[in-house]
A and B are shown apart, each in its own frame.
Chain A
């Protein structure tokens, strides 16, 4: 259901202000969404003054700097810091992306950092993605074959392999799904761009023998056709993939048989 306003317990309050203590002249204000599950308080926005003279180029570097030098209580997910693992997906400057690949020099003015939109917050910048993972499981993202001999290689031709380009690179960071208004309003039923891109990836795999069943399963008013080509997904993808096009391709396959 469309619900524009945030629920009462999610309304954002003004938080604390951490003044710069280094005496640096190159200061940027960083506003970060905070919520502590151990208190009963509403979420708040804390503001940090960060010394940019001693800070590397990415937004994740700012977060690390704040956690190491200003406020160790800040919680966020991160791992590889090279745009491969998808852990540090968050909303920066009004757009979803990976903190480790987003340069802070691209952002004008104060830097606003929120968790991925429309998720249950676990702590600070960490959102609960368990529904998305369940949906991912529901499309059975593995190769399904019935009559392949186990002692022989299951070969794929080069052109067939090329069909998976632009699909297999997805790191499931959830930037696209959580940028999608349709997924905000119908996230419990609509599969969302990330999962549909993966559904398409397995439909397109020449080695898979379950293609018809896969198409039949995804052909659903809510699972698939809640996509209204808003294109926020493609705009958000930090890997430059095109979930909107993949969803359209599934629709086209279903329409043309």
Chain B
């Protein structure tokens, strides 16, 4: 009989909180980063294949799509780094109070954009 009973709605109706948003983003950026690291290895491998091969990669990375991807990956790494720092504190037993976790979550979200900009400016030798 139980199998006929409906399942009450869950993710469809549940409000997002900062902490749940950061948690799911942590997972998504983690997956993106693994793919990104693999791509970076291909990029390095293309160096060994000689100038012609590297040129293809080089021109792709300098296209708008390439730049968008690189900046996106930079953000993804920034987010993962900051969120991981938050997890370290949690693993040591700190920062579980609602207010603290909300502030640290906001810090991760805004900090990830800020850190991406800083890394970008470093890359362009602006500092």
A residues with a Cβ closer than 8 A to B are: 4, 6-7, 9-10, 12, 33, 35, 37, 42-43, 91, 93-95, 112, 114-122, 127-128, 179, 181, 184, 228-232, 234-235, 242, 244-245, 248-249, 251-252, 255
Contact = CB atoms under 8 A, between A and B. Distances in A.
A12 B2 CA distance: 18
A245 B90 CA distance: 8
B7 interface: yes
Contacts, number: 109
Interface residues of B, number: 28
B26 to A, nearest CB: 8
Given A234-B98, A248-B90, A252-B93, A119 B8 contact: yes
Nearest to A235: B17
B13 A114 contact: yes
B97 interface: yes
B52 interface: no
Contacts of A232: 14, 17, 19-20
Contacts of A117: 8-11, 13-14
A42 B23 contact: no
A93 B15 CA distance: 8
Contacts of B23: 228-231
A231 B20 contact: yes
B1 to A, nearest CB: 8
Interface of B: 2, 4-15, 17, 19-20, 23-24, 27, 87, 90-93, 96-98, 101
Contacts of A235: 17, 19, 98
B87 A6 contact: no
A251 to B, nearest CB: 7
Contacts of A116: 8
B11 to A, nearest CB: 6
Contacts of A95: 14-15
Contacts of A43: 6
User: Would you list the 7 A-B pairs with minimal beta carbon distance, nearest first?
Assistant: A94-B15, A231-B19, A10-B6, A245-B96, A117-B10, A118-B10, A115-B8
B15 A10 contact: no
A252 B12 CA distance: 33
Given A95-B15, A121-B5, A248-B91, 6 more contacts: A6-B7, A43-B6, A115-B8, A121-B7, A231-B23, A245-B93
Nearest to A43: B6
B89 to A, nearest CB: 10
Nearest to B16: A94
B11 A181 contact: yes
B98 A35 contact: no
Given A181-B20, A252-B91, A91 B7 contact: no
30 contacts: A10-B6, A35-B6, A43-B6, A93-B15, A94-B15, A95-B15, A114-B9, A116-B8, A117-B8, A118-B8, A120-B5, A120-B6, A121-B6, A179-B14, A181-B20, A229-B19, A230-B19, A230-B23, A230-B24, A231-B20, A231-B23, A231-B96, A231-B101, A235-B17, A244-B101, A248-B90, A248-B96, A251-B91, A252-B92, A255-B91
Contacts of A120: 2, 5-8
A93 B97 CA distance: 23
B7 A242 contact: no
A91 B12 CA distance: 12
A91 B19 contact: no
